Amino acid sequence: MNLDRELLFRFFNKETTLEEEKKIRLWIDECDEHRCEFFRERQLFDAILLHGDPSYEKSRPRFYIPWHKVVATLSGIAAIVILTIITTTYFLQQSFRDEVMNTVTVPQGQRVHLTLSDGTKVWLNAETQLRIPTTFVGTERRVFLKGEAYFDVTKSDKPFIVKMADIDVRVLGTSFNVNTYDKDYIETVLVKGRVGLQMEGDTQEWEVKPNELARYDRKNKTMEVKEVDILPYVTWKEGHFLFKNQSLEKIMDIMARWYDVSVEFQDESIRNLHFTGDIKRHANFSIILKALTSSVNVNYRLEGRELILYMK
């Protein structure tokens, strides 16, 4: 099966139908040659967005960044890595210099790996936005996160701070995952090193150690720190969904972000069904749905981008 460049470019630009996306995913899985070709076309598409190309359709939006001045680099991390970058530049006064900031936005069904100017590596999950400086200046390394990201922070005498709507995570050099998807909670899981969490308007700093989860309750403004199995929280960056006794409602929240669908539960009791399993992120969505529903009294109907779950 062969694919033309126009179809791939429409895929990168989020203009393909669900059937066309399935066709592309199957094509990528056929062989390593297709996978390599996919990445080559992805790089070309990114270059067109970043620098402009008169041969590309004039009607398409173009975003230009002075890329030779931007130290952050982008690279693929899985069989499918798709990135849409919407870059805005503005100035924040910090110390006696200004920081030029760029915004990286990852839409549904896509994720990206980037390296910041200090060498810190960051993995961004679907529906995530990260504001980063072209170069860190002043006495702190500060970034702004909305969504989910895994950070492998380069050691430095300058603290690295991840700022979110309600809390800050402060580190010097460590690896951790931060998840702000849930409207009620912010979760931070530490893989190695140590981090301190500080709630907005509070001077107390909560220390988190490896294999611990810190869960901030946005409504009650409380913090809970406990030991956990960290694998289900971090395997997303390796291209897996790992669920351990997870509710179907939570699983569908994750699937909706990755497969760009909306989910309707026709029976509320379905939400509380629990599952354990390890699924590749690029598996066919229908196969995943069959695996989830085959062992329980649940059926599904997929209408375009709307998934309907109901009792058999």
| pLDDT per residue as tens digits for the range 141-189 | 999 999 999 999 999 999 999 999 889 999 988 999 999 999 899 999 9
Task: Please report the pLDDT score of residue 108 as a whole number.
Answer: 80
Task: Please report the pLDDT score of residue 292 as a whole number.
Answer: 82
**For residue 59, what are its two tokens?**
């009607």
Percent of the chain with pLDDT over 70: 80
Q: What is the pLDDT of residues 209-233, one digit of tens each?
A: 999 999 999 989 999 999 999 999 9
Task: Please report the pLDDT score of residue 93 as a whole number.
Answer: 40
CA angle 71, 8, 280 (to 5 degrees): 80
How far is Cα 39 from Cα 37, in angstroms, rounded to an integer?
A: 5
Q: What is the pLDDT of residues 87-138, one digit of tens each?
A: 333 333 433 345 678 888 888 877 888 889 899 999 999 899 999 988 888 8
Percent of the chain with pLDDT over 90: 33
Task: Please report the pLDDT score of residue 202 as a whole number.
Answer: 80
Residue 196: φ, ψ to 5°: -120, 135
Beta strand 121-124 with 298-303 is unpaired
Task: Please report the pLDDT score of residue 87 as a whole number.
Answer: 36
Burial 204-223 (b: 16+ CB within 10 A, else e): eebebebebbbbbebeeeeb
**For residue 172, what are its two tokens?**
């010097």
> Which of 227, 200, 198, 224 has its CA nearest to residue 212?
227
Cβ–Cβ under 8 Å, residues 115 and 136 = no
**Higher-pLDDT residue of 58, 306:** 306
Cross-strand pairs, 22: none
DSSP 28-81: HHH-HHHHHHHHHHHHHHHHHHHH--TTS-TTS------GGG---EEE--SS--
Beta strand 240-247 with 212-217 is unpaired
Cβ–Cβ under 8 Å, residues 200 and 183 = no
Cα–Cα distance list, 182 to 13, 58, 296, 308 (Å): 27, 39, 26, 22
Is residue 2 pLDDT above 90, yes or no?
no
Burial category of 129 from C-beta neighbours within 10 Å (exposed 0-12, middle 13-18, buried 19 and up): middle
**Long-range contact set of residues 253-257: C-beta below 8 Å, sequence gap at least 24:** 253/181, 255/285, 255/288, 255/307, 256/108, 256/307, 257/108, 257/109, 257/125, 257/126, 257/127, 257/181
Task: Please report the pLDDT score of residue 99 as a whole number.
Answer: 64
Is residue 258 pLDDT above 90, yes or no?
no
Task: Please report the pLDDT score of residue 1 as a whole number.
Answer: 59
Cross-strand pairs, 243: 277
**Mean pLDDT for the stretch of residues 277-283:** 79
**Mean pLDDT for the stretch of residues 38-55:** 56
Q: What is the pLDDT of residues 52-98, one digit of tens each?
A: 443 443 333 333 333 333 333 344 333 333 333 333 333 334 333 45
